[in-house]
């Protein structure tokens, strides 16, 4: 599982120099914690707000700028790629309703192993 998390960094959208942005891997625990805090699931916007609150002091200027399309903030895009990978790793449920992210039993076990 840790190898898959390491691979997350290599597939970041809108590639930027390493170290300029928070990596996909660094979003895993905050996303899982935000979901647990909300009872196991939540609307994407709510989870992003919680993740922002947890990481706002770590964001670089590059993290909070809009991507070239001008639509999304860079960190939102990176979180969405992290979510895609987390679903593949079964840390999140794949069959949640549209617009909802939901932690799986495996995701809860992952947090527990981390002592969180």
Counted domains in the chain: 1
Q: What's the CATH number where 44 sits?
A: 1.10.10.10
Coil, strand or helix: which one is 60? coil
Taking the whole predicted model, whether its pTM rises above 0.85 is answered as: no
Residue 9's pLDDT is 45
- Which segments of 1-116 does DSSP mark as H helices, in order? 2-10, 25-37, 44-55, 74-88, 105-113
pLDDT along the chain (116 residues), means of 10: 52 52 94 97 96 94 88 92 95 96 97 93
Domain of 56? 2-12+26-113
Residue 72's pLDDT is 87
Residue 116's pLDDT is 87
Residue 16's pLDDT is 47
């Amino acid at each position: 599982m840790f190898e898959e998390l390491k691979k997350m960094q290599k597939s970041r959208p809108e590639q930027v120099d390493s170290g300029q942005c928070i990596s996909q891997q660094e979003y895993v625990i905050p996303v899982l914690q935000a979901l647990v805090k909300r009872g196991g699931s939540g609307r994407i916007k709510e989870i992003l707000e919680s993740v922002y609150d947890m990481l706002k002091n770590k964001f670089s200027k590059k993290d909070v700028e809009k991507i070239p399309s001008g639509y999304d903030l860079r960190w939102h895009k990176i979180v969405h790629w992290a979510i895609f990978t987390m679903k593949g790793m079964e840390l999140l449920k794949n069959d949640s309703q549209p617009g909802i992210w939901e932690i799986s039993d495996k995701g809860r076990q992952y947090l527990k192993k981390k002592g969180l």
